[in-house]
Structure formats: structure tokens, C-alpha cells
């Protein structure tokens, strides 16, 4: 079985609401020892996706989001 590394990021707002975000690993044991403090956070617009989306399709969307963000920042 093919596996993917995923990391959940939970964000709590000061009004008590919370959200959980799924994505490619951002923080690992190695990066946390060498710094890796959060510098910026960007949120995309809310996207409607089929509820039958496969993990592979989800990871493709995540990859596209990262590429789009990098192109915008530079």
C-alpha cells in the first residue's frame, strides 16, 4: 500500500472557534530542533471539493496551493 505523510494543524482563535487543516508535513523533529518557527500564514479562499475526493487528488490540490503561493510571494 502506498502511503502519504500528512500533518494536522489545529488553529484556535481568540473567540473559541477552532479549525483543523490537513497538509504536507510542515514541522518535523529535525526542523523543530533547527528553528522552524512560524513566520507567515496565508489562508486560501474556501474551495468546494467533491466529498468523494481521493487522498491523491487532495494532495494534488495542496501541491497546487503551495506552488501558487510561492509564485505570488516571489
pTM, rounded to two decimals: 0.54
**H/E element, 7:** strand 7-12
Is the CB of residue 69 less than 8 Å from the CB of residue 42? yes
* φ, ψ at 64 (rounded to 5°): -65, -40
What pLDDT score was predicted for residue 36?
67
pLDDT digits (tens, 9 = 90+) for 13-66: 999 999 988 877 877 766 666 666 777 777 778 888 889 999 888 888 888 877
Q: Total structural domains in the chain?
A: 1
52 occurs within a structural domain? yes
2 occurs within a structural domain? no
Cα gap 70→63, rounded to integer Å? 11
63 occurs within a structural domain? yes
Give the domain extent around 37: 7-73
Amino acid at each position: 500500500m502506498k502511503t502519504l505523510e500528512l500533518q494536522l494543524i489545529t488553529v484556535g482563535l481568540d473567540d473559541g472557534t477552532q479549525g483543523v487543516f490537513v497538509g504536507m508535513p510542515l514541522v518535523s523533529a529535525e526542523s523543530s530542533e533547527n528553528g522552524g518557527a512560524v513566520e507567515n500564514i496565508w489562508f486560501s479562499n474556501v474551495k468546494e471539493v467533491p466529498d468523494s475526493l481521493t487522498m491523491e487528488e487532495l494532495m494534488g490540490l495542496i501541491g497546487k496551493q503551495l506552488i501558487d503561493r510561492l509564485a505570488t510571494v516571489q
